Structure 1
Amino acid sequence: MASPLLLDLKNVNKIFGQNHVLKDINLQIEKGKFITFLGPSGCGKTTLLRSIAGFYTIDSGDIFIAGNRVNELPPYKRGTPMVFQEYALFPHMTVFNNVAYGLDIQKRPEDEIQERVSAALAKVKLTGLEERYPHEMSGGQQQRVAMARALVMNSPIILLDEPLSNLDAKLREEVRVELRTIQQELGLTVIYVTHDQLEALSMSDEIVVFNKGVIDQHGTPHEIYYKPRTQYVADFIGTTNFIPVEVVRIEGSRITVKYGKAGRTVTVESDLSLKIGEQIMLSVRPESLRINEQANEHDFVIQAYVSHSTFLGEKERYFAVDKDTADWVPQWIIDAYDIGATRYRGSIQISAAPDKLHLINK
């Protein structure tokens, strides 16, 4: 059974001067989900987050939270606390007072404030640090204070605007796990903005990929990574190889395409609506390509030559060229894992099983 709908955006538009930042955004988010808004700078993801929070007034469309239209409500009445990239902690206040600030504004009873702040600090593992000031804490601890300040309001949605970008790589990973754990344990609905693909893939129930003010794709991390609907999504999420192909046969969802100058064919499962002779793109991830393994007659196969490689610890990344597809593919990228001392040089065969291939409209 689907979770209750918590956030419903209908034809949301936002314009700054001559810049149409959000273009007819339609999005529904269910309760208890961790949703990531993903995309490069300037794509509209932060503008939409701040529009949901009420910091921006949308130019047209509607925003519904728990069934209530909130277009005219100020931020403090929407129940959408926001954790900012800079944390926005009050430097002259202790940890306790920073977390309690929203409850103080609501004039909640002192015993309730004490209980709720203590509970929020326990959730983010900051019990015992109530009397410290922000400047006495690490970046990771400040981030947790900001999260506790959001949690203490018992709000239906928590909004996070790139909250880990100021942390070093190791601490980012630790806090990332903590955030996801807190969200799952408490059943929170979280909307998280980032341009980091790894963060999005590792933390999210669903990812919303933005491209120049529109949503290119909304789906699970697995769908976004392995079944991108556009070339933009496939290229933005991780690394992929593209090759132009021509549709030569259609049998239901089984699409046979021709690739390369030699006119090899491969049959791929796809839900695209296509026509014989149509030119489309085939996408295959570097980790899905095999080097010098026995290929069967149904596989995608290319004979290539290794130009160079890069050792990346857990894998060796190979860059290869071939004459058959050189007019369309400047170089193939292949990731080989757990290869020990083996390093490939010179001529190689690269191949992939049909279920590792994905067709995309140009």
Structure 2
Amino acid sequence: MGTQVLLDLKNVNKVFGSNHVLKNIDLQIEAGKFITFLGPSGCGKTTLLRSIAGFYTVDEGEIWIDGKLVNDLPPYKRGTPMVFQEYALFPHMTVFDNVAYGLDIQKRPEAEIQDRVKAALAKVKLTGLEERYPHEMSGGQQQRVAMARAIVMDSPIILLDEPLSNLDAKLREEVRVELRNIQLDLGLTVIYVTHDQLEALSMSDQIVVFNKGVIDQHGTPHEIYYKPSTQYVADFIGTTNFVDAVTAHIEGDRVTLKYGSNSDTVIVTTNEQLTVGEQVLLSIRPESMRINQQPDPGDFITNGVVKSSMFLGEKERYFLAGDEGKEWIVDAYDIGQTSFQGIVKIRAAADKIHLIKVAK
């Protein structure tokens, strides 16, 4: 049995006035996955989420949920409950009534409402708090009430719009783990919107990176981080060092590249279709570089001068000045009390270097 596509977006476009917010979005999402829409403010991720929910009507394209075309269905008939940033709980209602609200509107039998609400609250570990009011609960508990309200509807997809942004850092981390556990335990399909890269990397099965209304890349967290398809993705996710290089020789998937003022060479493997003499970008993550270590043959090597460093607990982050005003960021782990100073050698193994084609 193959994987089931639960959400299918075909050529979705949305325009607000003169602003073309979503441009020809094609995306398929499988059942039981945790999918994150990631990107900066104004990139289209929330607009797409709200279009899936039915709060916005798309100007072009089709939205299919569970094999049904839902373009003309109102939000409450789509089976896509949404958990908002501010949770949107009713302050005058108890936890039980907040969670039961959607079922009440559907006029479900009282016994069924009782059973389903109790089951939903048990799933988010809120049993015993049915009679509390939202203001009597912590931010994390309110978050779980909002989640229970979505789960109780037995919907195919749950939509989450930056639901952790109101929580402090430590609580965010706890609720992040909880949300992921609930999703895995119940086999839910979740679409989660955030601009927080760490949140996306740590929680998702798949990440969809948005850039000005288009999808730049859709892949696993590892693919997005280590194999970004564009400079924008490499730059947006984490920190990286970009190096201008030129292809000197191509043999199958092995490409010899020249870089730096001395025209040093490094050989990397890539699936990109390239021609000799083509300008490309190399992306090297700070944690993939080493300072003052004996290089192996074929390593990427360059020199730099330590300008400053920042102690981050498990690592020391160095900011270095290289040739021709180039700036480098290098992370050194577990080096004890020693610090690097002055002129240093920087190296990176060839298999840690990712090649990005430069958009023409």
Q: Shorter chain as normaliser: what TM range? A: over 0.9
Q: Normalising by structure 2, report the TM-score.
A: 0.98
Q: Secondary structure at the match of 1:120?
A: helix
Q: Secondary structure at the match of 1:12?
A: strand
Alignment deviations for residues 77-96 of structure 1 (CA, whole Å, 9 cap, x no partner): 00000000010000110000
Q: Secondary structure at the match of 2:250?
A: strand
Match of 1:334 among 325, 330, 335: 330
Q: Secondary structure at the match of 2:178?
A: helix
In the alignment, what sits opposite 1:351? 347
In the alignment, what sits opposite 2:53? 53
Is contact 1:255–1:270 with CA below 8 Å preserved after alignment?
yes
Partners of 1:277 and 1:131 in 2: CA distance: 70
In the alignment, what sits opposite 1:153? 153
Q: Secondary structure at the match of 1:201?
A: helix
Alignment deviations for residues 253-288 of structure 1 (CA, whole Å, 9 cap, x no partner): 111110001000000011111110011101000000
Partners of 2:117 and 2:82 in 1: CA distance: 17
Partners of 1:322 and 1:134 in 2: CA distance: 55
Alignment deviations for residues 33-72 of structure 1 (CA, whole Å, 9 cap, x no partner): 0000000000000000000000000000000001110000
In the alignment, what sits opposite 2:307? 307
Partners of 1:103 and 1:201 in 2: CA distance: 34
Superposed, which structure 2 residues align to 1:135-174 within 5 Å? 135-174=135-174
Greater shift, 20-29 or 331-340, is seen at 331-340
What one-letter code is carried by the residue in structure 2 that aligns with 1:7?
A: L
- The alignment's C-alpha RMSD in Å is 0.8
In the alignment, what sits opposite 2:280? 280
What one-letter code is carried by the residue in structure 1 that aligns with 2:348?
A: A
Partners of 1:90 and 1:146 in 2: CA distance: 10
Q: CA shift at 1:303, angstroms? A: 1.5
Q: Normalising by structure 1, report the TM-score.
A: 0.98
In the alignment, what sits opposite 1:252? 252
What runs of 5+ residues in structure 1 fail to find an aligned partner?
A: none
Q: 1:218 to 1:91 in 2, by over 3 A?
A: same
What one-letter code is carried by the residue in structure 1 that aligns with 2:130?
A: E
Is contact 1:13–1:25 with CA below 8 Å preserved after alignment?
yes
Partners of 1:49 and 1:337 in 2: CA distance: 39
Alignment deviations for residues 11-46 of structure 1 (CA, whole Å, 9 cap, x no partner): 000000000000000000000000000000000000
Superposed, which structure 2 residues align to 1:125-140 within 5 Å? 125-140=125-140
Q: CA shift at 1:170, angstroms? A: 0.4
Is contact 1:51–1:57 with CA below 8 Å preserved after alignment?
yes
Partners of 2:335 and 2:150 in 1: CA distance: 46
Q: CA shift at 1:2, angstroms? A: 4.2
In the alignment, what sits opposite 2:197? 197
In the alignment, what sits opposite 1:231? 231
Q: Secondary structure at the match of 2:98?
A: helix
Q: Does 1:106 align with 2:106?
A: yes
What runs of 5+ residues in structure 2 fail to find an aligned partner?
A: none
What one-letter code is carried by the residue in structure 2 that aligns with 1:354?
A: A
Partners of 2:2 and 2:88 in 1: CA distance: 35
Q: CA shift at 1:296, angstroms? A: 1.2
In the alignment, what sits opposite 2:87? 87
What one-letter code is carried by the residue in structure 1 that aligns with 2:113?
A: I
Greater shift, 219-228 or 104-113, is seen at 104-113
Percent identity between matched residues is 75
Alignment deviations for residues 93-142 of structure 1 (CA, whole Å, 9 cap, x no partner): 00000000000001111111111101111111111110011111111111
Q: CA shift at 1:294, angstroms? A: 1.3
Superposed, which structure 2 residues align to 1:8-87 within 5 Å? 8-87=8-87
Q: CA shift at 1:3, angstroms? A: 1.6
In the alignment, what sits opposite 2:268? 268
What one-letter code is carried by the residue in structure 1 that aligns with 2:357?
A: N
Q: Secondary structure at the match of 1:113?
A: helix
Q: Secondary structure at the match of 1:118?
A: helix
Q: CA shift at 1:230, angstroms? A: 0.2
Is contact 1:3–1:32 with CA below 8 Å preserved after alignment?
no
Q: CA shift at 1:342, angstroms? A: 1.5
What one-letter code is carried by the residue in structure 2 that aligns with 1:134?
A: P
Runs of 4+ in 1 over 4 A off after TM superposition: none
Q: Does 1:183 align with 2:183?
A: yes
Alignment deviations for residues 186-231 of structure 1 (CA, whole Å, 9 cap, x no partner): 1100000000000000000000000000000000000000000000
Q: Does 1:207 align with 2:203?
A: no
In the alignment, what sits opposite 1:292? 292
Is contact 1:9–1:63 with CA below 8 Å preserved after alignment?
yes
